[in-house]
Amino acid sequence: MAAGLSRDEAKKKTSDASSGSLWTVLKQSDWMDMLLMAFGSMGSAADGSSMAIIMIILSDLMNKYSGTSVTIEDINKFALTLTYVAVGVASASFLEGFCWARTAERQTFRLRRQYLQAVLRQDVGFFDKNLGTSLASQVVSNISIDTLTIQGVLSEKIANFITNIVMFITGQVAALYLSWRLAVVAIPALLMLIIPGLVYGKLLGEVGKKIQEAYGVAGGIVEQAVSSIRTVYSYVAEERTAKEYQNALKPALELGIKQGLMKGMAIGTVGITFAVWALQGWYGSTLVINRGAKGGNVFTAGLCIIYGGL
């Protein structure tokens, strides 16, 4: 659509759209979508906080079972408590999945309709400037592929983001509650795990966007060649078209290799988890031996720190 704009104007417009894309999508929602997103957010928050709740219950369970005075009533109490938690987590997960999936379907349907209406409202000059199959390819791609990407963000990514944020916060709070000495020592070590993940996540997102753009250029060449196959054949341009397509795929190949390297480095940083576990195991044992800390509290506090950081 930016064919009639100058390069600077198109670049500025693209930059503005990319910086506010999520808000642009969310502001199209109606009151029903707002209600669904509110309930979905509550379900995501409850799902994220379930880990901390389970760890607190498990700490009491391990401390109780490590003694010699455990009774059948204690076993029944913990079994019933964990059953209640399981029912609550299942309900929260269902609420999260249903509400976010429903609002994602509603909003992407509205976006498809509005986008097609906006294209059809353009003047004839717009279609003259964007003549050929490139416009049709772009319209079909935006309606089918891009809206599916938006639907995936609304139905899954936002819900997972809320769940992970709540899991991180409640996990560290639960660790401070269970064993604040261990938490004070181990939480700063999580920076070695969090910072590389954030950096590689941002870089992978940028590379993935460039790969998608490169494949879009190559796909446009194929669509133009197939739609005008008689013209290509009559001018004996098969080899030239194939070479253009091959050259268009080279940037995608280079970016794919770069993306694979970044993914390998990102996965490799997960090994830092073992270093954090080693620190927690050493310091936790000193707390149990020298300061009389309960083993169940120390162990579950370490689990809260690790799983919250992941």
> DSSP readout, 220-255?
HHHHHHHHTHHHHHHTT-HHHHHHHHHHHHHHHHHH
Residue at 218 is within a domain: no
**pLDDT score of 10:** 41
**pLDDT score of 174:** 92
DSSP count for the chain of H helices, then E strands:
14, 0
In the numeric block, the tokens 């000059």 are attached to 125
Q: Per-residue confidence at 228, pLDDT binned at 50, 70, 90?
A: confident
**pLDDT score of 165:** 92
Are 192 and 309 contacting, i.e. CB atoms less than 8 angstroms apart?
A: no
Give the CATH number for residue 120: 1.20.1560.10
Structural domain total, the chain? 1
Q: What is the pLDDT of residues 109-146, one digit of tens each?
A: 888 888 778 777 777 666 666 655 555 666 666 666 77
Selected residue with higher pLDDT from 1 and 248: 248
Q: Locate 19 and state its tokens.
A: 């910086």
Residue at 11 is within a domain: no
Q: How many CB atoms lie within 10 A of CB 3?
A: 11
**pLDDT score of 126:** 66
Residue at 148 is within a domain: yes
Q: Which long-range contacts (CB under 8 A, 24 or more apart) does 148-152 make?
A: 148/108, 150/25, 150/104, 150/107, 150/108, 150/111, 151/104, 151/105, 151/107, 151/108, 152/104
**pLDDT score of 22:** 67
Residue at 247 is within a domain: no
Give the least confident one: 49-63, 165-179, 201-215.
201-215
Residue at 47 is within a domain: yes
Residue at 34 is within a domain: yes
The SS3 assignment for 272 reads helix
Range of the structural domain that residue 124 is part of: 24-169
Residue at 125 is within a domain: yes
- State mean pLDDT over 24-49: 87
**pLDDT score of 116:** 77
**pLDDT score of 38:** 92
What is the pTM (predicted TM-score) of this model?
0.72
Q: How many CB atoms lie within 10 A of CB 179?
A: 30
Are 295 and 39 contacting, i.e. CB atoms less than 8 angstroms apart?
A: no
The amino acid occupying position 180 is W
**pLDDT score of 135:** 59
Residue at 17 is within a domain: no
Average pLDDT of every residue of the chain: 81
